[in-house]
Amino acid sequence: MMSIRQRVPGTRRVLERNMLAYRRLWLIFVSGFFEPFLYLLSIGIGVGALVGKIPGPGGKLIDYRDFVAPGLMATAAMNGAIFDTTFMFFIKLKYWKTYDSMLSTPLTNTDVASGEIMWSVLRGGIYAMFFLLVMLLLGLLHSPLAVLALPTALLECWAFAAVGSAASSYMRSYWDFDFINVVLLPSFLFSGTFFPLDRYPGWLEVVVRCTPLYQAVALMRSLVFGHLDVSAAGHVVYLVVMGIVGLSIASRRLGHLLTP
């Protein structure tokens, strides 16, 4: 088995390939940032003026826009990571045969999977970084610990990108992407992004606590307000395990689908 040190250059080659392919498509990155930003302006600030204050981390009453902003940052990171490891991953695998060409070189299936995931982490990280800057300009950061929200976003991106790659390897046609939307849309709406957990029915609160996006939302919100407890470690472990499992499945699936 190749050592980690041997694998890293292969992963970097895949990352460099994607950077060169997207060098003229920078508008795609800009457009992906605007959706959660507009949600922040319309719901967080616009509707927030009508909602007033709600319980935040530690039970302290906070403005609605302060509550929503960390959740939308987590959403921006997720959106950035998931696009290239679902739709684009499927196209490269099934139609463009990009990965067949890559595997005809010394690259391994693990190199390809890791490179695609790292590219998605970079993209999602860019979204999260700009969103964090917007929060800073709007005065929505309330603790020095908020600087750790960016590493948290990168961890979130890695977890979602890994699982997205694994799921896309099972896709048979474009129609199967409806299943991904069925998962992503409820995650966006019901992961504590817009409402405190105590507003949900008891059974739904349990379900929300088990969703991947909730882990990132809750952790980022705690960092932004400087209120960390033992649950933060649980959120980190959840995302780490999610990423490891996703990468393992994606790597094996690529090997199964593309290796003669």
Summarised one tens digit per residue, pLDDT across range 160-194 is 999 999 998 888 887 887 888 888 888 888 899 88
- The average confidence (pLDDT) of the chain is 86
- With H, G, I as helix, E, B as strand and everything else as coil, classify residue 201: coil
Would you say residue 249 has pLDDT above 90? yes
Prediction pTM value: 0.89
Residue 92 sits at the vertex; the CA angle it makes with 125 and 186, to the nearest 5 degrees, is 55
Q: Which residue has the higher pLDDT, 91 or 149?
A: 149
In the predicted model, what is the mean pLDDT of residues 73-78?
92
Would you say residue 219 has pLDDT above 90? yes
What local confidence, expressed as pLDDT, does residue 39 receive? Answer: 78
Maximum CA pair distance of the chain? 61
Least Cα distance to 92 among 81, 77, 103 occurs for: 103
Would you say residue 236 has pLDDT above 80? yes
Each residue's pLDDT tens digit, 22-65: 777 666 666 666 777 787 888 877 777 778 888 888 888 899 99
What local confidence, expressed as pLDDT, does residue 260 receive? Answer: 61
